[in-house]
Amino acid sequence: MENEDLIRRLCQRLKLQYLAVMAVLILVVVLCETDLLPIGFFAGSQQAEFWLLLLMEPLTLAAIVAALYLFKSKKVAAALHSGGIAALDRWATLRLLMLQVPLMLNTVGYYLFLVPSFGYMAIMTLLAMCFVYPSLARCKSEVGATHQSHQAQTTKRPI
């Protein structure tokens, strides 16, 4: 029963992290769209735009793929099996940050440079965020499912 309470508190903290970043993102979008924050500050700087796009495109795509497949790796499954809820806290927070940091950078990049590529990358990351929403069922299944999959990997079947 105490385990269930720990998972519930962890899930609430992860939801707070998830929703806090979304709230900040919405605030930035609203402030920029209503011209309360200046937009297009670096619109004429093509060299800075090029280098930032060169950095953000592969970083965003790699972060999306890595975040979506993070819990499928053997290392994370083993860590969740041995570390339980503490490991889930660490890995779930990392997974959220892997998507939230590029999301914020691409959103700010869009409003600083007014380049649609940043907006498209932010939208892709926002869509990927839907697949890692930290619901209570997800938190329970990630601790339980990785425990079962790790057991299946470590036990050898007779031929």
- Asked if residue 79 belongs to a domain, the reply is yes
Residues in the chain where the model's pLDDT stays below 50 = 146-153
- Asked if residue 142 belongs to a domain, the reply is no
User: Could you write out the DSSP letters of every residue in the chain?
Assistant: -HHHHHHHHHHHHHHHHHHHHHHHHHHHHHHHHTTSS---TTTT-HHHHHHHHHHHHHHHHHHHHHHHHGGGSHHHHHHHHHHTHHHHHHHHHHHHHHHHHHHHHHHHHHHHH--HHHHHHHHHHHHHHGGG---HHHHHHHHHHHHHHHHHHHSPPP-
- Asked if residue 66 belongs to a domain, the reply is yes
Work out how many domains the chain is built from and give that number. 1
pLDDT at 18: 96
Give the residue from 102, 159, 147 showing the smallest Cα distance to 129: 102
Contact, 71 vs 146, CB < 8 A?
yes
> Is the overall model pTM greater than 0.75, yes or no?
yes
Phi, psi of 148, deg, nearest 5: -70, -40
- Asked if residue 155 belongs to a domain, the reply is no
- Asked if residue 141 belongs to a domain, the reply is no
- Asked if residue 158 belongs to a domain, the reply is no
- Asked if residue 33 belongs to a domain, the reply is yes
Coil vs helix vs strand at 100: helix
- Asked if residue 104 belongs to a domain, the reply is yes
- The domain in which residue 47 lies consists of 2-135
pLDDT tens per residue across span 116-139: 999 999 999 999 999 999 999 988
